[in-house]
Amino acid sequence: MKCTAMAALVFAACLAWGPATGAAPAEKPEKALTGTATAAAVDAGGKAGTVPSAQKDADKAIKAVAPQSDDKTGKADKSDKDGKENKDSKKETAHVPTDDDCVLLDSLDTLTIPPLQASDFYIGSIHHGDSPAKVKRIFGPPAKFSRSTHYTTMQYNDKDLKMRFTFRNKTADSLRHSADTRKAVLPGAESMFLSAGTNILIGRDVRLKYPAEVLLRQYGLPDSVLRDADANVYYFTYESPRKDVMYVFAIGNRRIERVALMPVRPPYITGDEPADRMKLGERDFTLMGFGLNQPFEPNKYNMWTNLVKRNNSNFWLYGDYGVEVDRRNIVQKVFLLTNNAYTGRGATLGYHVSTILALYGRPDRVEWGPDKEKSVDAYYYDSPYQKGVSLVIVVRHNEPYVDDIILTSTPIKNIQDPMERYGLK
Whole-number mean pLDDT of the chain?
Answer: 81
Summarize pLDDT for 397-420 with one digit per residue, the tens.
999 999 999 999 999 989 999 888
**Average pLDDT estimate for 213-237:** 95
The whole model's pTM is what?
Answer: 0.78
Half-sphere exposure of 184 (CA within 13 A, CB side): 10
How do strand 365-367 and strand 376-382 relate by DSSP bridges? antiparallel
Q: CA 196, CA 190: separation in Å to the nearest integer? A: 20
Summarize pLDDT for 287-336 with one digit per residue, the tens.
999 999 999 999 889 899 999 998 889 999 999 999 999 999 999 999 99
Enumerate the β-bridge partners of residue 401: 352
- The domain ranges of the chain are 118-263
Summarize pLDDT for 21-67 with one digit per residue, the tens.
333 334 433 434 444 333 333 333 333 333 333 333 434 333 333 33
What was the pLDDT predicted at 352? 97
Three-class secondary structure of residue 162 per DSSP: strand
- CB–CB of 287/280 below 8 Å? no
Summarize pLDDT for 354-410 with one digit per residue, the tens.
999 999 999 999 999 999 989 999 999 999 999 999 999 999 999 999 999 999 999
Summarize pLDDT for 239-265 with one digit per residue, the tens.
999 989 999 999 999 999 999 999 998
